[in-house]
Amino acid sequence: AAPLPASRPVPQFQAQPRQEPGLGGDFWKDLPPPQLPAGAAPQDAWRPAGALPPGQLPHGHSIVLPQQVQAGRTLSIGREHTNDIVLDDPLVSRRHARLDPPTATTLAVLHDLGSFNGTFVNGHRLEGAIQLAVGSEVIFGNQTFRWDGHQLVASATAHEFTLYADGLTQVVAGGKRLIENISFQLKPRSLTAVIGPSGAGKSTLLGALTGLKPASHGRVIWQGHDLYQHYAQLRFQIGLVPQQDILHPQLRVRQGLRFAAQLRLPPDTTAQEWDARVHHVASQLQLVQRLDNRIGTQLSGGQRKRVSIATELLTAPPLLFLDEPTSGLDPGLDLEVMRQLRSLADDGRVVMVVTHSVLALDVCDDVLVLAPGGRIAYFGPPDGVLAHFGRSNYPEVFDLLDDPDLWQRIPVPQHAVDTSSMARQSYAAAVPAPPRQSVTRQLSTLVKRNLAVVLADRLLLGMLLLLPLILGGLSRLVPGSNGLSLDESRTRRTLPDGTVVDSFATGEASQRLIVLIVAACLMGTALAIRELVGERPIFKREYAVGLSPGVYFTSKVVVLGTAAFLQGLVVTFLATVGLPGADGGLGTLRVAIAIAALAFTMVVIGLALSALVTSSEQTMPALVGLVMLQLVLSGALFEIAGRPVLEQIAWLSPSRWGYAASASAMDLVRETEGTDEEDWIALGGAGHYVMDLGVLGVLCLVSFVVGLLLVRRSATSED
């Protein structure tokens, strides 16, 4: 067998030195070590195996190592307590890796056992097995080790590291700079606020620091690694709470967090572990008493924001970023949220919050003030902001920032050093995709969540139940008692030449069918058109942590499409019950299937439109316009066949084929000998009926593909 590859050495940065005296290229190495809080015991940078006592680490992990590593013994590594090295980390798999010890002739061999989040050796994800060279860095989840040639040595845990931003610049089309030459450091256990007027690049900076939208130039250093170059290994250690809430308001807190845990944690996590993790993060944020409260109606604004934070804490990230967490909150809730963030930082995290509020800055360690154009105007303690700008309040500071000729005369504090002359890297590569759970697991979780949301949403549930009843009742207002039957309305007459012909009064059946077509289009579209745009912030965050857009869209189609299909059956039943059926009842069943299939197709189109629009306000005009268009193009109101252009356009309309299939099942359109004016796609007979349903299915599939592409686009859009 071919020998296993030796691990590559720990990568070193080779940046060119600065031109400024006294500053080397890797400037963070020259900075003084961070000071531990008062009363905290100093800890060694590296701990030998067996020397680290069991117990909770500050950000919710624990490591249990054997007291003695016997020579020649193979070690199992994972989350389960039966492993030799137990890593109580939610990102570590139950059986994560195996370490074969070195022998007299071979190096130690590390095997990844198919872990979900991966094992990283010197910044590269391990596929299979690799020989460990002395000094190799190994990462399991949030835990970092180094191989010293004999044993794995636990690194300083992530809460002991500092984050460095070095010369971050974001350039967009046209050469416009959203942020320019941003450099600073975030100390361990620190809370930093980013403030500044609108257009100062605060959200752009957040995207650069999290790696979701890497800066055009510059770099972010975490644990001594360039975040952009090692994003696949470091992304698990970053949590991001967007401005909008990232859980469904219809759900209870426990439900929402549990579904989030199922999507984010490794597939081998048990239901008991999900519940334990949910309870743990709820206790961290004082939400235990609120676990059974409904998120949207039974929580305050501050509590809802804490639920969003709890969602990110499920994976215990040591780096936490928040975008406008206090937006829309009153001063009391603003202070409540900021104090909670202070507690999270004290618990061993690096926390940065972008905010417009200046009411609770005194709980922060540092404040970063950005000026228009995305440049640093101040970085330092909050009590020094006003004095730095020579102003007595923050509104005056923001007024000053609007005039660059004034604030640029004020020197920036030295902790935000200028790195404009440093050689920088450019990043054109896309962010690597996060690991994803299996399609079946994600689909199962999302379908269950969608069902829970539907059942918890009284307005939506009421619409699901009442709309078919109302529309079915309206169809009963059509005068007549023949229902969908044509045979009951047959009349026989004799022509002057003695020929006897049958005539069929199709007015009643046609009118009832028009109501059913409108009902199917309205029910399907109304059910779906607000669905995706309404929860776009939730989807975008879940996409960033591994949710498949295809699975997400499919789950919506499965749940809402099934509901619309059942609605179609119900409304047809209510419209025809007690009345003569078409073709002795068999035709009525075929009509019901055609109406239900049309409603299903309209759900798919409605979801595609929901992925296209940028706000919920745009959905109502789209709903009305789409339903009216379907009615006109169906061929039920007036003759479409034989009208060039209009007939071909109508072929693209689902209602055209839903009507044709229903008319075919009813034998509503009769072939007239010697003329081609009849609506040929709606002619009676099983062949035409199957053809019409087949074309409707093709339109449904095309709409699904278009909707999927739009969902993928919305995942990375700016709206």
Got the DSSP string for 50-76? T-S-SS--TTS-EEE--SS--TT--EE
Instruction: Supply the pLDDT for residue 598.
Output: 96
CATH code of 27-157, in short, is 2.60.200.20
Q: How far apart are CA 706 and CA 719, in angstroms?
A: 19
What's the angle, vertex CA 606, arms to CA 668 and CA 531, rounded to 5? 140
Beta strands 490-494 and 500-504 are antiparallel
Instruction: Supply the pLDDT for residue 149.
Output: 85
Instruction: Supply the pLDDT for residue 513.
Output: 86
What amino acid is encoded at 163 in this protein? Answer: L
Give the list of residues 6+ apart from residue 559 with CB closer than 8 angstroms, or none: 447, 450, 451, 454
Please state at what angle helix 253-264 crosses helix 439-456, rounded to 10 degrees: 170
Q: How far apart are CA 140 and CA 127, in angstroms?
A: 14
Other CB atoms within a 10 A radius of the CB of residue 492 amount to 8
Instruction: Supply the pLDDT for residue 409.
Output: 59
Q: What are phi and psi of 313, to 5 degrees?
A: -75, -10
Give the list of residues 6+ apart from residue 452 with CB closer than 8 angstroms, or none: 250, 251, 255, 259
284 burial (CB, 10 Å; 0-12 / 13-18 / 19+) is buried
Q: Report whether 379 contacts 412 (CB < 8 A).
A: yes
Instruction: Supply the pLDDT for residue 564.
Output: 96
Other CB atoms within a 10 A radius of the CB of residue 384 amount to 14
SS3 416: coil
Domain ranges of the chain: 27-157, 163-245+320-407, 443-715
Q: Which of 254, 238, 348, 340 has its CA nearest to residue 299?
A: 254
Instruction: Supply the pLDDT for residue 64.
Output: 52
DSSP 252: B
What residues form DSSP beta bridges with 659?
Answer: none
Measured in residues, the chain has a length of 719
Instruction: Supply the pLDDT for residue 497.
Output: 59
Q: What are phi and psi of 583, to 5 degrees?
A: 55, 45
Q: How far apart are CA 508 and CA 73, in angstroms?
A: 85
Q: Per-10-residue mean pLDDT for the chain, 719 residues long?
A: 50 37 40 41 36 40 48 84 90 93 87 91 89 90 86 68 90 87 92 90 92 92 87 87 91 96 91 93 93 92 91 93 86 86 91 90 93 90 90 86 68 51 40 68 95 92 91 80 58 55 57 89 94 92 90 97 96 82 72 95 96 91 92 83 83 91 76 48 71 94 96 82
pLDDT digits (tens, 9 = 90+) for 445-504: 999 999 999 999 988 898 899 999 999 888 888 776 666 666 545 555 555 656 554 444
Instruction: Supply the pLDDT for residue 24.
Output: 38
Which CATH architecture fits 163-245+320-407?
A: 3-Layer(aba) Sandwich (3.40)
